[in-house]
Amino acid sequence: MTTPNIPPASPAAPKRAQDYAAVRDWPGYFDLMLGKPARETLVAALSNFEKESTNPTDSRLAVDLGCGEGRDTLELLARGWTVHAIDAHPRALQLLTPRVPPDAESRYHPVLATFADARWPDRVDLFNASFSLPFCEPRDFAAVWRRIVSSIRPGGRFAGQLFGPRDGWATLPDRTHHPRTELDTLFDGFVLEELREEERPDSTHDGRPKPWHVFHIVARKRRP
Ligand SMILES: C[S@@+](CC[C@H](N)C(=O)[O-])C[C@H]1O[C@@H](n2cnc3c(N)ncnc32)[C@H](O)[C@@H]1O
């Protein structure tokens, strides 16, 4: 009897962010992200505020929704902002809180809550939601979005990502994706300072396709 030639199994490639996010393995995702710099959309929004600010004592109140391990919250705190950092996973705040510098502790407000249940101040200068809102349950999205929009003060900003219909996760029933045309409705009453549509092929660590279709957004709410 002959033994068939079975090729040796190739060593598994290390898991990537999308492998963890696909199955909401947030602790795995946070470990991979720990220590990464702030997201580009947040940095762009902050730079837009800085360009128009003449008064260093201007109010700087932000919400960081789905803050994760805290890459954006830490940047906001470092720049003097007060931040309501919201996440539903306790590990996010366990990783973030000890990294808040002592001089920023009084400006840091951690909130363990889901998007649907979270409460935040009703007048904020910046609403940041980096790669988080696509994980909102579709049944909750409209109400969450209404609350986000109404809490941003006139002249305030939204920064973050929404996902489009050609993203690989658009077929998952617990995700929220938006066609480009819907963005005009969502951002009615805003000036879109940045709307970058990213569409590119990618894969999971075990070689399955994971196309990305992402809208990177910075938007300023119009003044009446
Ligand atoms: C892809 S991560 C993004 C984290 C971080 N903002 C970043 O840019 O890396 C999504 C985050 O949303 C949080 N999240 C997912 N579903 C949530 C929900 N229903 N309510 C609150 N947070 C949620 C996760 O715990 C995770 O921290």
User: Is 22 close to ligand 1, i.e. is its CB under 6 Å away?
Assistant: no
Q: What is the pLDDT of residues 75-117, one digit of tens each?
A: 999 999 999 999 999 999 999 999 999 999 999 999 999 999 9
| Nearest-angstrom CA–CA distance, 9 and 128 | 43
Helix axes 40-52, 71-78, angle to 10 degrees: 20
Span from the CA of 89 to the centroid of ligand 1 (angstroms)? 8
Q: What is the pLDDT of residues 31-75, one digit of tens each?
A: 999 999 999 999 999 999 999 977 766 779 999 999 999 999 999
* Domain extent listing, the chain: 39-221
Q: What is the pLDDT of residues 6-23, one digit of tens each?
A: 544 455 789 999 999 999
Following DSSP, what letter does each residue of 5-24 receive, concatenated? -PPPPPPPPPP-HHHHHHTT
CA separation, residue 56 to residues 30, 33, 154, 219, 220 (Å): 33, 31, 19, 22, 20
Which position has the higher pLDDT, 1 or 29?
A: 29
Q: How far is CA 64 from the centre of its chain?
A: 8
Alpha carbon nearest to ligand 1 atom 26, residue:
68
User: Is 149 close to ligand 1, i.e. is its CB under 6 Å away?
Assistant: no
Domain 39-221's class? alpha beta
User: What is residue 79's predicted lDDT score, i.e. its pLDDT?
Assistant: 96
User: Is 216 close to ligand 1, i.e. is its CB under 6 Å away?
Assistant: no
| Nearest-angstrom CA–CA distance, 72 and 160 | 11
Q: How far is CA 202 from the centre of its chain?
A: 20
User: What is residue 13's predicted lDDT score, i.e. its pLDDT?
Assistant: 85
Average pLDDT of every residue of the chain: 94
Which atom of ligand 1 is found nearest the CA of 113? 21
Q: What is the pLDDT of residues 152-167, one digit of tens each?
A: 999 999 999 999 999 9
Predicted TM-score (pTM) of the model is 0.94
